[in-house]
Chain A
Amino acid sequence: MKSLMDRARGARGALGALAIALVLITAAMLVAGASPIDGFAALFAGALGGTHQLGETLVQATALLFPALGIALAFRAGLFNIGAEGQLLVGGLAAGALGANVHLAPALAAVIMLGGGALAGGVWGGIAGWLKARFGANEIIATLMLNFIAASLTGYLVAGPLKSSPAGGPETAPLAHAYWLPVLLPYTRLSIALLIALAIAALLHVVLTRTVFGYELRAIGEAPEAARRAGISLQRMALLALASSGAIAGLGGASIVAGELHRFNTQLSPGYGYTAIAVALVGDLDARWICVAAFAFGILETGGLAMQAVANIPKDAIHVIEGVIVVLLAARRYVAARAAIAS
């Protein structure tokens, strides 16, 4: 039940960030001596210029959307979950291992894979939540450290116990074709994972704005002392928030395995879990705007490659610009918080 003003503010935040991104990209092109018009033409053609390009953009957007929604959930509870990367990995591994080893009806197998991925991510996030609830551990440190453990653990497991074949690379056995998530857009890699992500976004929005759980979650984020005095257990909510946050990211990892890679390998994520922090912030921690932000980031990721070829701007520049946007938005939040205190 955000007020109309807050909604406008959220919209302005996302649109403002996009506008700044465009200005920065233009500046980068001019510095590189390329024509911004050609560069943007290449960027948008590369991202949206055809079915294949659109599909690829949406694949990227989907991969970012899951962890961004998870991060936003934790953030609304006042918890900075930067462990989405690790939660993605364990979710993906669980899905890959289950998919390679169960023999079930395809629909059931998909449910088992995705459910197993969500569970694994939930446990991974839940560990950080438990550490916080039980020992008062800082969740930023805990989730970050768990990323390294997840990377090492999944790397070890696919190089050893879960390896597909003695001769093969570090990955789980390929999924049976019947277990692949159905393709959404013909002739692209885009699977129905996009629809699942959008459904999660809708669910998250309803949970946060209509349910008792959502209100308790936001209360511990916005007014922890008032929440405690209203009988809400901060420990319990921290555990639940980080576990749910991890579950959404884990589901994202599972959907990449079931919909895109069709096996788990350690190259599952080029840092989706970290970029998703930016997506969540750009989306003003509002599930609806996060969908928009994920699409915008998908465009930058996919179109960046084409831009590199045409306008001679390294794709890494895109990441630099993404970083700048995050800093700007963080500053905006900081300024707003200061203003709120001052008034």
Chain B
Amino acid sequence: METGRAMSVALALRGIRKTFPGVVAVDGVDLDVRRGEIHALVGENGAGKSTLARIAFGELHADAGSVEAHGTVGLVHQHFELVGRLRVWQNVLLGREPRTGWRIDTRAARARVTHLAQRNGLSIDPDALVEDLPVGMRQRVELLRELERDPAVLLLDEPTAALAPGEIDAFFATIEQLAHNGTAVLVVTHKLNEVMEHAQRVTVMRHGKIVEQTQIARTSAREIAQAMVGGELPAIAQRAATVLAPCLSIRDLRTAGAAGLRGVDLDVRRGEIVGIAGVEGNGQSALADAIAGMITHAGTVAFASPHTTVGIVPQDRAREALVLGWSLVENVAFSRFQNARMHAGPFVNFANARTDAQTIAQRFDVRAATLDVPVATLSGGNQQKIVVGRALVDHPEFLLAYNPTRGIDVGAAALVQSRLVQARNDGAAILLISFELDEILALADRVLVLFNGSIAGAFDGASADRGELGRLMAGGA
């Protein structure tokens, strides 16, 4: 890659500074992205990397500094910005449709999108409704929309957050092709394995500043991770020997719907973590909801005793777990009103709620100015620590954890994972549903692969083979 072409700078950021009320998001950053390179921009949540990308794109204005781009800049957002009720070609060409007179030339438009997709090796049906497409396809639409403008610089904000392993490989194949053809690519991410595998250079941000900038060949994932968190990574707690005892038993569980379950049997025993590996949309949500009693189902979900205590970490912390406008104390009380500790007659027992909130904040290193600020003001990582901490504060015998570290930074994720292992060591039965295979492999004593609503395979955690798991997750027999 070290050709002359690769050395010319396509995007130059100089002295970028951006403040939001109360925080300096980006603090004097210089960054070059060169033609033909894939440049990774990494950092923990709140390090300022997304803000920097939006400034480079022109979506935000920097308070100081300059942005110099040679050619157009395209940005693929982390949260897709598509119109679900429109077709693929309509989304790709939105606002730039070819016209004949005052009418949109649909034939030319379709041809243009089909050609664009073919040229970039992104097969897609231009007439599909975006709302009907799976996540991986939607991202293709988003990517095509940017490619349509033939950008010299392509910015990707957490592009693989919602993709399955197979989709991720296909995605990077496309990106590498683009880079090979001379596009300058900046990937904002927190997945270090992708950085190591696909990028040529990496820039690490922490607290709005660049703390490390180097060639991938001269660094390691561990060094990058340490630069991100600014010190040693917290090690995940060791699994200790435990006494297994029956806790949850699921037999022939079936639920309605396309992403439902088609006869699932599984057991979770106290003292073990059972990991459910699988690509999103293969029945994970139905499994979690059936256990939580949120949906009707056929078959049995039985706990060892009717008094088995249960903690739940739902998938979507902002929607399903927290009331964002409320404080940590209030959130700790609110989901546990069945617990006698949380009320005194008709009144909320704020004293006990505060004690528990303090315990959670301490055990999970929740960084909040006080326990009384609305949780909406906390970072996603801190919010997630609260959700997991709250699920564990009563020492439940069974814990359901659904993507417990999704979208949070490395340090917070390691802490949450450690607490899960400790709960297991203390005798909790844990069912871990995760879209991150690495997380399952790191934590689970046993691994079950969920595909199309059924268990496609069962493995011992220690001997599970990545390749074999990946094959089953993708539907291989």
A residues contacting B by CB (< 8 A) are 1, 3, 210-213, 215-216, 218-219, 222-223, 225-232, 340
Query: Would you call B372 an interface residue if the criterion is a C-beta within 8 Å of the partner chain's C-beta atoms?
Result: yes
Query: Would you call B324 an interface residue if the criterion is a C-beta within 8 Å of the partner chain's C-beta atoms?
Result: yes
A residues less than 8 Å from B322 (CB atoms): 223, 226
Q: Knowing that A212-B346, A230-B337 are A-B contacts, what are 11 other residue pairs whose CB atoms are under 8 Å apart, sorted by A's residue number?
A: A1-B330, A1-B350, A1-B372, A213-B346, A223-B319, A226-B320, A226-B321, A226-B323, A226-B335, A229-B292, A229-B314
Q: How far is the CA of A295 from the CA of B257 in the complex (A)?
A: 54
**CB-defined A-B contacts under 8 Å, sample of 9:** A210-B348, A212-B342, A212-B343, A215-B348, A216-B337, A223-B324, A225-B316, A226-B321, A229-B321
Query: Would you call B172 an interface residue if the criterion is a C-beta within 8 Å of the partner chain's C-beta atoms?
Result: no
Nearest A residue to B292, CB-CB: A229
Query: Would you call B235 an interface residue if the criterion is a C-beta within 8 Å of the partner chain's C-beta atoms?
Result: no
Contact A219/B338 with A211-B346, A225-B320, A229-B312 known, Cβ cut-off 8 Å: no
Give, as a whole number of angstroms, the nearest-CB distance from A77 to chain B: 13
Counting residue pairs across A and B whose Cβ atoms lie within 8 Å, the total is 67
Within 8 A of A (CB), among B351-390: 372-374, 376
A222-B337 in contact (CB<8A):
no
A residues less than 8 Å from B372 (CB atoms): 1, 3
Give, as a whole number of angstroms, the nearest-CB distance from B458 to chain A: 29
Interface of A: prevailing SS: helix
Query: Would you call B334 an interface residue if the criterion is a C-beta within 8 Å of the partner chain's C-beta atoms?
Result: yes
Partner among B323, B327, B347 whose Cβ is within 8 Å of the Cβ of A223: B323
The 10 closest A-B pairs by CB, nearest first: A230-B335, A223-B323, A211-B346, A212-B343, A225-B319, A222-B323, A225-B320, A212-B337, A229-B320, A210-B347
Q: How far is the CA of A227 from the CA of B336 in the complex (A)?
A: 11
- Tell me how many residues of B have a C-beta within 8 Å of chain A: 32
B347-A211 in contact (CB<8A):
yes
Give, as a whole number of angstroms, the nearest-CB distance from A5 to chain B: 9
Within 8 A of A (CB), among B74-118: none
Q: How far is the CA of A3 from the CA of B375 in the complex (A)?
A: 12
A226-B319 in contact (CB<8A):
yes
B348-A211 in contact (CB<8A):
yes
Give, as a whole number of angstroms, the nearest-CB distance from A216 to chain B: 7
B374-A219 in contact (CB<8A):
no
Query: Would you call B286 an interface residue if the criterion is a C-beta within 8 Å of the partner chain's C-beta atoms?
Result: no
Query: Would you call B329 an interface residue if the criterion is a C-beta within 8 Å of the partner chain's C-beta atoms?
Result: yes
Contact A3/B323 with A210-B348, A211-B348 known, Cβ cut-off 8 Å: no
Query: Would you call B258 an interface residue if the criterion is a C-beta within 8 Å of the partner chain's C-beta atoms?
Result: no
Q: How far is the CA of A222 from the CA of B346 in the complex (A)?
A: 21
Give, as a whole number of angstroms, the nearest-CB distance from A14 to chain B: 19
Within 8 A of A (CB), among B183-218: none
A219-B327 in contact (CB<8A):
no
Q: How far is the CA of A327 from the CA of B343 in the complex (A)?
A: 39
A residues less than 8 Å from B335 (CB atoms): 226, 229-231
Q: How far is the CA of A279 from the CA of B325 in the complex (A)?
A: 23
Query: Would you call B1 an interface residue if the criterion is a C-beta within 8 Å of the partner chain's C-beta atoms?
Result: no
B residues less than 8 Å from A340 (CB atoms): 376
Q: How far is the CA of A232 from the CA of B334 in the complex (A)?
A: 10
Q: How far is the CA of A216 from the CA of B372 in the complex (A)?
A: 19
Query: Would you call B333 an interface residue if the criterion is a C-beta within 8 Å of the partner chain's C-beta atoms?
Result: yes
Nearest A residue to B337, CB-CB: A212
Q: How far is the CA of A112 from the CA of B208 in the complex (A)?
A: 67
A residues less than 8 Å from B314 (CB atoms): 229
A residues less than 8 Å from B241 (CB atoms): none
Nearest A residue to B317, CB-CB: A226
Q: How far is the CA of A143 from the CA of B159 in the complex (A)?
A: 47
- Binary A-proximity of B303-320 (CB < 8 A = 1, otherwise 0): 000000000101010011
Give, as a whole number of angstroms, the nearest-CB distance from A73 to chain B: 16
Nearest A residue to B335, CB-CB: A230
Q: How far is the CA of A228 from the CA of B342 in the complex (A)?
A: 18
Partner among B333, B346, B373 whose Cβ is within 8 Å of the Cβ of A3: B373
A residues less than 8 Å from B323 (CB atoms): 218-219, 222-223, 226-227
Contact A1/B319 with A213-B346, A215-B337 known, Cβ cut-off 8 Å: no
Nearest A residue to B346, CB-CB: A211
Q: How far is the CA of A216 from the CA of B260 in the complex (A)?
A: 30
Q: How far is the CA of A213 from the CA of B333 in the complex (A)?
A: 12
Give, as a whole number of angstroms, the nearest-CB distance from B419 to chain A: 21
Query: Would you call B477 an interface residue if the criterion is a C-beta within 8 Å of the partner chain's C-beta atoms?
Result: no
Q: Which of A216, A222, A226, A231 counts the most B-chain CB atoms under 10 A from its CB?
A: A226
B residues less than 8 Å from A1 (CB atoms): 326-327, 329-330, 350, 372
Q: Which of B312, B336, B347, B350 counts the most A-chain CB atoms under 10 A from its CB?
A: B347
B325-A222 in contact (CB<8A):
yes
Give, as a whole number of angstroms, the nearest-CB distance from A240 to chain B: 13
Q: How far is the CA of A227 from the CA of B322 in the complex (A)?
A: 9
Give, as a whole number of angstroms, the nearest-CB distance from A341 to chain B: 11
- Binary A-proximity of B160-175 (CB < 8 A = 1, otherwise 0): 0000000000000000
A212-B319 in contact (CB<8A):
no
Q: How far is the CA of A213 from the CA of B347 in the complex (A)?
A: 8
